[in-house]
Each structure stands twice: as structure tokens, then as C-alpha cells.
Amino acid sequence: MRRILLLSFTALSVAGIAPALAQSAPPATQPSAAVAETVVTATRIPTPIERVPGSVTVIDRQTIEERGYQTLAEALVSVPGLSLIQSGGPGQPASAFIRGTASRHALVLLDGVPVNDASEPNGAFNFGNDLLGLEVERIEVLRGPASSLYGSGAIGGVVNIVTRRAPADRPIEAFGELAGGSNRTLRGGGGVAGTVGQFDYLFSLRSLSTRGTDATPGRFAANTGERDGFRGLTGTARLGWTPDARLRVEGLANWRDNYGGLDNVPADDPNYSFNDRRFTGQLRAEARPIEAWTTGFRIARTEDRRRYTNLPDSLSRSSTDDLYRGERTVYDWGNQLRLPDAGPFDASQLAFGLTHEREEVRQASGGSGFRTTTNADASSTAVHAGYQVRLLRRLDLTAGFRNDDAEDYGSHATYRLGAVLALPEISARLRTAYGTAFKAPSLYQRYGVISGFFQGNPSLRPETSEGWEAGVEFDIPLAGQRDLVTLGATYFANRIRDLINFDAAFTSLENIDRARIKGGEFTATLRPARWLTATAAYTVTDARDARTGERLARRPEQQLVLNAALRLGDRVTVAPELVLYGRSREGAFASYRDDGSANTTARDNKAGTVLNLTATWQATEPVALFAEGRNLTNSRFEPANGFVIAGRTVVAGTRFRF
């Protein structure tokens, strides 16, 4: 693994920097078009992406449509440093491992509000449930420790789903989509948005139904070919009032209701099903008392309800009826203060605020012979501050600090430091960052009970980490073009302590594990012509148990994602995507032989390849026709042992905006 990392960094550095030095540099005041986007997630302050010290990927609306992403899980596969492991197709459980950290170490936000399910036993987010309707404007993914910004859970990184705003220049805009295809797949959605005087609005609805494919591998002797269907409905409403340029008040509501079938590895299970509902609402007011100071207050509420049922059938006489209810209420006061320039320092900004959060869990589940319950709630209050400044118009410095004070696990402080050095003489940017992070023990881990068997541990401490990264990104000007090629390389390392796991008797939980992770992310964007853009994201990850040296489960050692956008004329775009997964480790008793029996020792999951292709024809200015093909080779790759990815599907439809 170390040899792969060294060879990759050396090859990329020699190949990229040498041509860049050989060419005449573009003027320092003329930034590359490849780094013009502004992001908020990385610093809580709107910042041009080339001045952000952390690693950030933005998946915008155009990319979502060009590549045919219909779910959050499909879109995140393309992010370097992120491994998305899903147990089948839409609606099936999916975990994101950001830079080798655990799935519970990925914090998910909806317009800045945490939406990780409080009732999930580990506090992890299920990435398999969210549809990417037309109301989603972009997805921002920040990799690396970010608890100094967002508190508990942001050890691996943060995924922020940003919804679209109403157009400011028209009273009404209608948009929609209708598509159908193989596996009896039908999806549709639509909405209206606009601005009338001081008021703006957006209403949208999105649905997806499919017969699905069989998530149980055909290699299992007990496989019956039973499909895992899915149907989901998502709605969004936003209302805003802007009486003048210094004040805005808005409300946002998002609702999701999903139904689907599940399998019970290592066998099909025709009666195992789920219903997953989530409601998120927030009311936010933002004011600018003076030109340099912006202050805002937000109240947000998230409610999750999940139910899993499994009735007796010919394959099994056991039954299950599990109900999970989780609630989170957030009060957040945030400020941005623009400070005056001083000599060599400019673009100086201070962000500070106060956040209060309360979680509640009411959970009851069980099967034959046992019952699990959790009835608990807890609150925490945090103060946070961040500062960023630019020196000599080329060195950006950032610092952040946060202290979380919880009523049940005490006080915990985190911080983050970062720097970005612009080298316009060679069209390069150097980045480095160091930070600490933590994941609070979930309410189940502290207070859950399994009758006669398990008792949660109220004395659990937070899982903690410290990590750093260093990277370079540079443009190669060739053939009269400033950024014919953009190359990037980032090395990252992370140490995690006090990981929560079962005690020796499996009767409770303790802070007993440690992990060490290192790796590299390598990106390349090629723009040889106006009609072609090609990208590559290659990730090498070495994630290990620090006590035993064993590889951590379900983290592919290598992953390569290739994307391209071929614009044929003014109206046709063809976007192929190829995802190559390296081998990954699977724990003992979590992998299965072909006869369905469990392996008693850890095994490797084999490498796999997935090919997707989307073509779009902009028939008229407001109407587009498209065709999407997923897993066109019908790969039976098992990202998690005992679960195959969704089989081949082809969907065609139309998308419009008037």
C-alpha cells in the first residue's frame, strides 16, 4: 500500500508540474475557470472553492442530470475518497465510508441542518433512501474532520444537500420530469417556483417506483430470484419573504415516505419489508444590521419513523416488527463579520455562533425470544467560531474552534487549521489542513436494552480523531488553453481513538478500539475540446485496526471513477461513467459461502466494475429527452458480501422547465 501511494504521488507530480513550469504562466488576476465555484459547507462562510483548505467536491444540478443520478447514493459514488457501499438498488441500505472512517462518521445536512437519524443504533445515515428530485440544486461534500464546524459525527466528513432557490426574475416557473423503463420503473416529479414582489416560493413533488432486482446473489443455493421492489415519494416546500436587501425570512419543509422489500442474508425473504419516513422543517431569519455584519437565527426539526416487518413464510417461521422513532430539534444562531483590510491582509472574515440541539429516541423491536427498547433523550449546547484571512493576495489562512457541552457525556472541544497557497506563476494551489473531531455515543449505545442480554453503557465517552491532509492542484496550459488539464493529489491520514464496540461478554459496549487510516486522492480533468470533458478520481485507502493491524471491513483498498461529457453539437450530451472497485475486507461471520453458511474467518470481497451511460437531447430550449442505463454489463458485483448491486436497468424520459 505504501508503495502504491508513493508511486502515485511521484508520477502525478512529475507529469504535472514539469509541463506547467515549461509554459508561460497566465496572469495572476485571471483565475482558472475550473475553480470558480463558491461553497459554504467547508467554512460556514461563502468562499471560492480554490481558497478552501479542505477537500471539497460539488455535484451540481447539471452534473446530476447529465449523468442520470436519481438517488443520493448514485451521485456520491463519483466523489474521491468516498466509498459508497449499497446492499442492492434504490431503497436498500447504503453506507458511506469517507476516507476510510466508519459509516457513522459521515454527517449529513439538508440545507445546513443535520438529518442523521437519531434512532439509528450507531447514529449512521442510510444513503440508500434519498431521491434527487429537481428541487436539489447541488451536493457539497467536505472530506476530513469537521467537528469544529458541525459538532458530533463529522469525523470523516460532511455531505450537505442544498435545495434550489426560486428564480428572482419571474413570477412563475414550472419544472418537471417523467420517465419509465425496465424492471417496471416509473419516476416522475414536478413543481413550481417564482418571485412575486417581496415573496418567493417553491413547491415540488418527486416519486419513484420500481419492481427492482434481486439483491441476493445467484450463487447462493437458497436464492429464489425474489425481487426487492421500492416506491418512494418526496415533497419540498419553501416560502420566503425579503422586505428589503437587509432582511430575509424563509421556511423550508421536506418530507419523504419510502416503502420497499429487503432480503435476509443468505436467503431471499419475500415478506421482509420496510417503511421509512422523514420530515424536516426549518424556519430561518437573516438580517444585516450593518454592511459588514450578517446575523441569522434558525429553528429546525427533524422527525424519523422507520418500521421493519417480517411475517412467517415458507422459508422462515420467525417474525419481526421493529419500530424506530427519532427526533431532533436544533436552535442555531450564526454570524458573519467582515473585517477591514489591514496592510497585506485582506478578505478577513469572522464567523461565530451558538447551537443548541436535543435528540429523542423511542424504539421497540424484537423477534423470537428477545426484545430491544430505547427510550431516551439528551441535549447539548455548543459555541463555535471561525476566522479566515488572505495574506498578500495568495495565502489563505483559516482557523476554527468549537466546544460542545452535553448533559450526558460532558464537554468536548475540537479545532481545525488550514492554509491554501496560490502559485499563479505555475498555475498551482497548495493546500494543507489539520483538525480534530468526535462522534458522541448514540442514545441506543448509552441507554438501549435487549431483554435478558444487553444493557447500554451511560458512561461511554465520545469517539475522537485527529487528522491532517496535504495536497496540490495545478492547471497545465497547453495548445493555447490555460487549463487543458487540471491535476490534483491529496495525502490524508487519520487516527481514531475510543471507538465503541462490544465488551468481551457481548453484554454492553465500551470504548475499546482504535483505528489508523492513510491514503491518497488523485484527480484529473481533461478539456481537449469544447465538446469533451473527461474526469478521473482515483482513491487509495489503507484503513486498519490499530490494535491488530487487520484491514477494516468494507473499505475498498482502491477505487477509480471515470466520467466524461461528450457534447455532440449544441443539443446532445453523452455521459459515460465507469466505476472500478478494488478488493475490500469482510469480517468473520459477515461473509457467506455459496451454500449459505457463514465463513468463520475474515475474507476479501472481490473487485468489481460498473458501467453507466446517460444520453440527453435538448429538443427545445425548455424540453429535454434522455435515456439512462445503469449497470449496463449486468455485473453481479458484491460490494458487501451476500448483497449484489442492482441489475441492469434502462430508463427513458423527458425533463422540462418553462
- At 241 the pLDDT is 98
- At 453 the pLDDT is 87
* Residue 220 neighbours by CB distance under 10 Å: 18
- At 319 the pLDDT is 81
Position 19 confidence tier, pLDDT thresholds 50, 70, 90: very low
Strands 199-210 and 82-86: unpaired
Average pLDDT over residues 74-82: 96
Is it the case that residue 17 has pLDDT exceeding 70?
no
Contact 189, 134 (CB under 8 A): yes
Query: 87-127: per-residue pLDDT in tens?
Result: 888 889 999 999 999 999 999 999 999 999 999 999 999 99
Output the domain CATH number for residue 369: 2.40.170.20
Q: CA 345 from chain center: how many Å?
A: 34
- Nearest partner of 515 among 469, 557, 562, 465, judged by Cα: 465
**Which residue is associated with the grid cell 476554527?**
400
Query: 566-576: per-residue pLDDT in tens?
Result: 999 989 999 99
- Looking at every residue in the chain, the average pLDDT score rounds to 91
More confident residue, 542 or 219: 542
- At 368 the pLDDT is 64
Rounded to whole angstroms, how far apart are CA atoms 560 and 611? 12
- Nearest partner of 297 among 475, 165, 112, judged by Cα: 112
Is it the case that residue 22 has pLDDT exceeding 80?
no
Q: What percentage of the chain has pLDDT greater than the value 90?
A: 79
Q: What percentage of the chain has pLDDT greater than the value 70?
A: 94
Contact 117, 127 (CB under 8 A): no
Count of structural domains within the chain: 1
Q: Whole domain around residue 212: which residue ranges?
A: 2-657
Position 270 confidence tier, pLDDT thresholds 50, 70, 90: confident
- At 35 the pLDDT is 38
All cell numbers assigned to 397: 489562512
Query: 348-357: per-residue pLDDT in tens?
Result: 999 999 999 9
Query: 293-336: per-residue pLDDT in tens?
Result: 999 999 999 999 999 998 887 777 778 889 999 999 999 999 99
Contact 577, 561 (CB under 8 A): yes
- At 588 the pLDDT is 85
Query: 23-50: per-residue pLDDT in tens?
Result: 333 333 333 333 347 888 778 888 888 8
- Nearest partner of 418 among 64, 131, 144, 28, judged by Cα: 144
Q: CA 419 from chain center: how many Å?
A: 24
Is it the case that residue 559 has pLDDT exceeding 60?
yes
Rounded to whole angstroms, how far apart are CA atoms 357 and 193? 32
- At 43 the pLDDT is 80
Query: What is the secondary structure of 416-429 as a DSSP string?
Result: EEEEEEEEGGGTEE
Rounded to whole angstroms, how far apart are CA atoms 263 and 230? 13
Which residues, at least 6 apart from 322, have a Cβ–Cβ distance to it below 8 Å?
A: 306, 307, 308, 309, 364, 365, 366
- At 230 the pLDDT is 95
- At 98 the pLDDT is 97
- At 265 the pLDDT is 81
pTM score, whole prediction: 0.92
